[in-house]
Amino acid sequence: DSVLNQKGIEVEVIVIDNGSTDGSCQKIEKTFGEKIKLIKNSINMGFAYACNQGFELAEGEWVALLNNDACADPLWLKHSLESAKTSKKIGVIIPKIIRADERDVLDGIGVGFWLDGLSRAKYRGELDSQRFNQDCAVVASGCACIYSKKMVKELAGFDSDFFIYSEDTDLGLKAFLGGWKAVVAPKAIVYHGYSQTTAPGAGYSIFKLYQVERNRIWILLRWYPIYLILLSPFLSFIRLSYQFLQALKIRDSKEGKFWSWVWAFLRAIKDALANFPKQWKIRKHWLKGNAKKEIKNLIYDQFIPLRKIARLD
């Protein structure tokens, strides 16, 4: 509804159903009919793959992503495209994402980094204020953003290997090195129910743990300086210790016992390192010449402190 009710702009709405079994397709077809294009995947192909399907189908010059646990302000797209007119090389438009249940609290503006490859939304949990009405981010969150169709085609979209999480970080870094500009559109607002797809009611799950930890290792191997790759086991130990102390406060989890979480984490590391040759090949392709310094500076410029990067909410 929120997408179809966008004001001041014509929209083409594409819904990718990733093998849902709860009657979503039937409800969507009955409610919206020919107002949307509905693509039905027989199984869950992952967020990255499904978005690429949408990229291929989209006919416009700009492609907007909106998670199924997010709701857009009526002027989201209009304000976003107003920002796009400021330069021909703009490829990424970043909105202000606000928590759906706390309308004065930010869910995030773009994506920031920590030292072991982990990335997450910047400013999450902070009170919304005018100080964020500036270009304070470079990499967009796939939760809600707008990409240039030309840029997406040039960079071949998301890497489907990521399945879900960090695919937006990876594409954002490629866009940065490819000379595409990212702008923040502070008047473009989206309301988000954080992780209500992968971890409803909790914000974290074993599935999410596996995906996040595997994918952040791939980001680490592809983009980070060598010295941070070598230090990453120690840095990850610090982060995980912090997260473990937080997890002790959450005693009503239905996601299994402690060792289930440990096994998911170890499996993530094993699967990430098994794919090492491909990650290193991608690294060698992109990090040439001055690119290493540019990415290192970006990672530090968009740094998120430990107490914020390690939050479980």
Residue 269: predicted pLDDT = 97
Closest listed residue to residue 51, CA positions, set 62, 43, 59, 63? 63
Alpha-carbon gap, residue 39 to 53, rounded angstroms: 9
Alpha-carbon gap, residue 80 to 62, rounded angstroms: 10
Residue 130: predicted pLDDT = 67
pLDDT digits (tens, 9 = 90+) for 87-135: 789 999 999 999 999 989 999 999 999 999 999 999 998 988 766 666 6
User: Which residue would you say has higher pLDDT here, 258 or 46?
Assistant: 46
Q: How confident is the model at residue 80 (pLDDT cuts 50, 70, 90)?
A: very high
pLDDT at 197 over 70: no
- E strand or H helix at 206, and its extent? helix 206-223
Residue 176: predicted pLDDT = 97
Q: How confident is the model at residue 273 (pLDDT cuts 50, 70, 90)?
A: very high
Mean pLDDT of 8-36: 95
Pairing of strands 70-72, 181-192: antiparallel
Q: What percentage of the chain has pLDDT greater than the value 90?
A: 79
Closest listed residue to residue 309, CA positions, set 130, 115, 58, 41? 115
Q: How confident is the model at residue 137 (pLDDT cuts 50, 70, 90)?
A: confident
Alpha-carbon gap, residue 254 to 143, rounded angstroms: 25
Residue 257: predicted pLDDT = 76
- Please state, rounded to an integer, the average pLDDT across all residues of the chain: 91
Q: How confident is the model at residue 17 (pLDDT cuts 50, 70, 90)?
A: very high
Residue 310: predicted pLDDT = 83
* Beta-sheet strands, E only, within the chain: 13-18, 36-41, 62-66, 70-72, 90-99, 106-108, 111-113, 119-121, 144-148, 181-192
Residue 238: predicted pLDDT = 95
pLDDT at 158 over 90: yes
Backbone φ, ψ for residue 65 (5° rounding): -105, 140
Closest listed residue to residue 138, CA positions, set 168, 163, 117? 168
Lowest-confidence segment of 4-8, 78-82, 132-136, 252-256 by average pLDDT = 252-256
Residue 250: predicted pLDDT = 60
Residue 133: predicted pLDDT = 64
Mean pLDDT of 41-59: 97
